[in-house]
């Protein structure tokens, strides 16, 4: 401080920093005040037992139980159930195809959103279908179906090995092969690259829609955690997160002219991250389908995924058309995009929580969608037109190709 | 498809298969568990020690019994609020007096009240009852007696008492005819003569009918021929019913005399060679037919009990809703003999039991 009169404003506008200590304190108080008031009111309301709106206590409890997972072991059927309703629920009897079977449960009464495991002793027969009915203490029933009984895989080293192998087959290898289109892309004319870009956008658009629908399907019929809402929230969050990442990248490349968009390499990374998030969800779906015995492993599934996912590699390298990337970079991109399938398969086979998987599907959809949006400016031809017969055709072919190959892997 | 693998022995396989043991023999090799065969249900060992749903079901000592039924045994009668064994031989002959003309008058007080029952371990059924029981009291009269049934509706819903028999329209307990529905708090006396003789029933006839019946408003109505029948050594009533607990179009539980699997854990005790007469009444709703089958024995069947000569000598009989009949049989050997619906679905959902024959 050099001036003798420190309190004097340095310029005409009122200086906020001058009175900072007391002002900041009062600002925080003003922010917290309503919260304190709400807490006080809640306390009083609870203490006085909701004056004026207390029920007569005769409300009939509503029972809402969902069966989240079904597992079979020799002589045993194991269900994970969750109470999605407001009222507590007790399971009193378990009926397997019109037979009251012996069972144990981890919790006698499930409070709101609580989950429990029911282990049923029943001599089920390989390949037979079963209908399980849980009878609650009020006589209400909750159904679960086993389409064809088969032993659920044990969670041992061979299981995790298999899941990892599955992830490699459906994620890493196809994308790795797809990356081998790099030389082809590099030698293609600009028009061709635009067409391929269109194809990539079509592919990503398909994945966005597909992941959203798959996520919604998983949580159809459950509302406890918001149902389909979590898919859209996941998508929005992922979209915004990737926008944020992009902002960081753009700031790093301060040299880039404003409005020019991302450098090709960053774009390739973004695509790889988006596809990686998508493949995490896909891996989860595959792992959990296998874990509950509803997935037939075999050549058909793996071949289907290989064809379906190989084009994802193409999508990653297309923005790099004008570059000469090193092999190391390509390997890294391939792993970012494909390896999450391994993690997903292992996780999905171990813990299956439909709401979590649906959220991840939403995240995948948002991530892939964000990349698709970023690619749109790259469709511009010399005249500045984006949708030419070539690019529009590319998009349609991309959508159609993914649709057709998607039919191969209807798991 | 992969061939069916022989599964390791299952703890419960023997339990499920005791019923209809003959039919189960091929399955025996499949499960590879010989332990179930020939197990006398008397030794109720806890077979695997797994803790069940932590409910108190020890009072009959039936937990984890070897025979079919609820894994933890049926609900003890006192806890359930229904005692099928007591209902078996409980013929309510009413308050008897003689009218000036010499006709015997029988009078009953019947009250409709709502009540909860624990029909299966942990499962509470909100019942509608006559005199607080399911099935309602078995009313017994002799052909030609004058009957007065003083009905009080102490429940919050309108009800009637509709008797199967011959009487005037006003006494039929049908809504819209005569007194029609008896409103909550109201009373009415149904009055008619006992005719024809046979094994009959009564039930509520208020709409929605299936609900009013299935919630428990029914009971046996036995009219003895004027000249009497051959005296039976043991006469009993068995009312076949079901419980639709989830409001669907089927029953979750089935029983005889109101409590699923009760007679598995508490066999009907009879004497060897004694003449056993059973009034069998089917009040099952939501399923088209019911049946009764007895093991290792045959019975004479008197449809509706309205003839003095049997129509059939059989071990299985089928009844539609409201159909009923009289069975007469003697057990030639001591031991335990199953009886159950030969619709095994019903049997495994509660409608099965044992006779225990002793010297």
All domains of chain B in start order, with CATH: 1-73 (no CATH), 80-224 (2.60.40.420), 234-358 (2.60.40.420)
Tokens of B286: 């939501």
Q: Enumerate the domain spans of chain A.
A: 65-146, 157-408
Model confidence band, residue B106 (pLDDT cutoffs 50, 70, 90): very high
Q: What's the pLDDT at A300?
A: 64
Model confidence band, residue A58 (pLDDT cutoffs 50, 70, 90): low
Q: Which residues of B touch A140 (CB under 8 A)?
A: 245-246
Are B53 and A121 an interchain contact pair (Cβ–Cβ within 8 Å)? no
Most confident of A108-122, A148-162, A273-287: A108-122
Establish if B211 touches chain A: CB-CB under 8 angstroms. Answer: no
pTM reported for the whole predicted model? 0.72
Q: Write the DSSP string, B281-310.
A: EE---SSSEEEEEETT--EEEEETT-SSS-
Region B274-287 average pLDDT: 96
pLDDT in tens, A176-202: 888 888 888 888 888 888 888 898 889
Are B243 and A137 an interchain contact pair (Cβ–Cβ within 8 Å)? no
- Position with higher pLDDT, A261 vs B84: B84
Chain B closest-CA separation from residue A293 CA (Å)? 14
Establish if A92 touches chain B: CB-CB under 8 angstroms. Answer: yes
Tokens of B254: 């089935």
pLDDT in tens, B44-93: 333 333 333 333 333 333 334 466 788 889 999 999 999 999 999 999 99
Interface test with B, best of A62, A93, A122, A149 (most B CBs within 10 A): A93
pLDDT in tens, B182-219: 999 999 999 999 999 999 999 999 999 999 999 999 99
Helix and strand counts by DSSP (H, E) for chain A: 12, 8
Lowest mean pLDDT among A25-34, B72-81, B207-216, B261-270: A25-34
Establish if A142 touches chain B: CB-CB under 8 angstroms. Answer: no
Spatial separation of the C-alpha atoms in residues B65 and B41, rounded to whole Å:
7
Cα A52 versus chain centre, distance: 44
Q: Does domain A65-146 have CATH number 2.60.40.10?
A: yes
Q: Quick count: other Cβ atoms within 10 Å of Cβ B1?
A: 7
CA dihedral B253→B254→B259→B261, nearest 10 degrees, is -90
Are B69 and A90 an interchain contact pair (Cβ–Cβ within 8 Å)? no
Q: What's the pLDDT at A246?
A: 81
Are A140 and B70 an interchain contact pair (Cβ–Cβ within 8 Å)? no
Q: State the number of CA atoms in the 13 A half-sphere of B187 facing the CB.
A: 10
Model confidence band, residue B21 (pLDDT cutoffs 50, 70, 90): very low
Are A100 and B248 an interchain contact pair (Cβ–Cβ within 8 Å)? no
Q: What's the pLDDT at A183?
A: 87
Spatial separation of the C-alpha atoms in residues B69 and A239, rounded to whole Å:
57
Establish if B12 touches chain A: CB-CB under 8 angstroms. Answer: yes
Does B204 show up as a binding residue in the annotation? yes
Q: What's the pLDDT at A119?
A: 95
Q: Which residues of B touch A133 (CB under 8 A)?
A: 252
CA dihedral A65→A68→A73→A75, nearest 10 degrees, is 20
Residue of chain A whose Cα is closest to the Cα of B1: A127
Chain B, 66 to 105: residues with Cβ < 8 Å from chain A are 69-72
Q: Which residues have CB under 8 Å from B81's CB, separation 6+?
A: B115, B116, B117, B118
Region A295-308 average pLDDT: 67
ipTM score of complex = 0.72
Chain B closest-CA separation from residue A224 CA (Å)? 22
pLDDT in tens, A121-164: 998 988 889 999 999 999 999 999 888 888 877 777 888 888 88
SS3 A8: coil
Tokens of A30: 């003003």
Q: Which residues have CB under 8 Å from B56's CB, separation 6+?
A: none
Establish if A121 touches chain B: CB-CB under 8 angstroms. Answer: yes
Q: Which residues of B touch A139 (CB under 8 A)?
A: 123-125, 243, 245-246, 252
Are A75 and B51 an interchain contact pair (Cβ–Cβ within 8 Å)? no
Chain B closest-CA separation from residue A154 CA (Å)? 16
pLDDT > 90 in chain B, percent: 78
Lowest mean pLDDT among A7-21, A319-333, B167-181: A7-21
Spatial separation of the C-alpha atoms in residues B159 and B181, rounded to whole Å:
6
Are B5 and A102 an interchain contact pair (Cβ–Cβ within 8 Å)? no
Establish if B173 touches chain A: CB-CB under 8 angstroms. Answer: no
For chain B, the C-alpha Rg in angstroms (whole number) is 21
């Amino acid at each position: 401080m050099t001036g003798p009169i420190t309190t004097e404003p340095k310029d005409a506008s009122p200086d906020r920093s001058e009175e900072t200590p007391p002002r900041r304190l009062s600002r925080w108080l003003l922010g917290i005040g309503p919260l304190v008031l709400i807490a006080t009111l809640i306390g009083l309301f609870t203490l006085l037992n909701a004056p004026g709106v207390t029920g007569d206590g005769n409300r009939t409890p509503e029972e809402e139980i969902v069966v989240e997972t079904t597992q079979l072991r020799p002589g045993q059927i194991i269900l994970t159930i969750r109470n999605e309703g407001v009222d507590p629920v007790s399971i009193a009897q378990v009926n397997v195809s019109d037979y009251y079977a012996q069972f144990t449960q981890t919790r006698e009464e499930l409070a709101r959103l609580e989950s429990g495991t029911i282990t049923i002793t029943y001599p089920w027969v390989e390949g037979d279908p079963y209908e399980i009915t849980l009878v609650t203490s009020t006589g209400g029933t909750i159904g679960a179906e086993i389409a064809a009984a088969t032993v659920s895989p044990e969670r041992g080293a061979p299981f995790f090995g298999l899941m990892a192998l599955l992830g490699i087959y459906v994620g890493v290898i196809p994308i790795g092969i797809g990356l081998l289109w790099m030389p082809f892309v590099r030698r293609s004319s600009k028009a061709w690259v635009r067409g391929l870009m269109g194809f990539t956008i079509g592919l990503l658009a398909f994945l966005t829609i597909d992941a959203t629908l798959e996520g919604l399907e998983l949580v159809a019929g459950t509302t406890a955690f918001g149902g389909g809402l979590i898919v859209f929230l996941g998508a929005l969050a992922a979209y915004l997160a990737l926008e944020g990442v992009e902002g960081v990248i753009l700031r790093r490349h301060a040299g880039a002219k404003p409005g020019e968009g991302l450098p090709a390499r960053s774009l390739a990374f973004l695509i790889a991250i988006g596809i990686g998030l998508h493949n995490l969800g896909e891996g989860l779906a595959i792992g959990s389908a296998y874990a509950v015995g509803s997935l037939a492993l075999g050549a058909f599934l793996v071949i289907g995924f290989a064809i379906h996912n190989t084009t994802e590699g193409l999508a990653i390298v297309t923005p790099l058309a004008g570059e000469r990337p090193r092999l190391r970079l390509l390997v890294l991109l391939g792993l970012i995009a494909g390896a999450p399938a391994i993690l997903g398969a292992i996780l999905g086979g171990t813990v299956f929580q439909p709401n979590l998987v649906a959220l991840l599907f939403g995240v995948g959809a948002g991530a892939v969608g964000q990349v698709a949006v970023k690619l749109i400016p790259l469709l511009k031809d010399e005249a500045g037109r984006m949708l030419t017969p070539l690019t529009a055709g590319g998009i349609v072919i991309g959508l159609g190709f993914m649709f057709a190959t998607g039919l191969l892997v209807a798991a | 498809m992969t061939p069916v693998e022989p599964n390791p022995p299952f703890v419960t396989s023997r339990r499920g298969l005791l019923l209809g043991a003959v039919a189960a023999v091929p399955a025996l090799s499949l499960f590879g568990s010989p332990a179930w065969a020939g197990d006398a249900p008397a030794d109720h060992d806890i077979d695997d020690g797994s803790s069940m749903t932590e409910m108190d079901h020890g009072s009959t000592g039936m937990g984890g019994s070897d025979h079919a039924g609820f894994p933890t045994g049926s609900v003890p009668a006192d806890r359930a609020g229904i005692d099928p064994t007591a209902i078996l031989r409980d013929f309510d002959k009413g308050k008897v007096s003689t009218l000036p003309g010499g006709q015997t008058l029988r009078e009953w007080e019947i009250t409709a009240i709502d009540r909860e029952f624990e029909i299966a371990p942990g499962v509470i059924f909100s019942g509608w009852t006559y005199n607080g029981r399911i099935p309602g009291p078995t009313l017994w009269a002799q052909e030609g007696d004058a009957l007065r049934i003083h009905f009080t509706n102490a429940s919050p819903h309108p009800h009637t008492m509709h008797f199967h028999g011959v009487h005037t329209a006003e006494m039929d307990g049908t809504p819209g005819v005569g007194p029609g529905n008896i409103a909550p708090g109201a009373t009415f006396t149904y009055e008619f003569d006992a005719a024809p003789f046979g094994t009959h029933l009564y039930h509520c006839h208020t709409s929605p009918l299936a609900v009013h019946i299935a919630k428990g408003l029914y009971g046996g109505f036995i009219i003895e021929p004027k000249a009497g029948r051959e005296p039976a050594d043991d006469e009993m009533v068995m009312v076949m019913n079901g419980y639709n607990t989830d409001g669907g179009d089927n029953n979750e539980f089935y029983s005889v005399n109101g409590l699923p699997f009760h007679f598995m854990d508490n066999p009907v005790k009879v004497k060897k060679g004694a003449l056993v007469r059973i009034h069998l009444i089917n009040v099952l709703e939501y399923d088209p037919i019911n049946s009764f089958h007895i093991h290792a024995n045959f019975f004479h069947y008197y449809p509706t009990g309205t003839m003095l000569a049997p129509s059939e000598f059989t071990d299985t009989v089928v009844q539609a809703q409201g159909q009923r009949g009289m069975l007469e049989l003697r057990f030639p050997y001591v031991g335990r003999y199953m009886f159950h619906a030969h619709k095994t679905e019903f049997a495994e959902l509660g409608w099965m039991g044992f006779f225990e024959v002793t010297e």
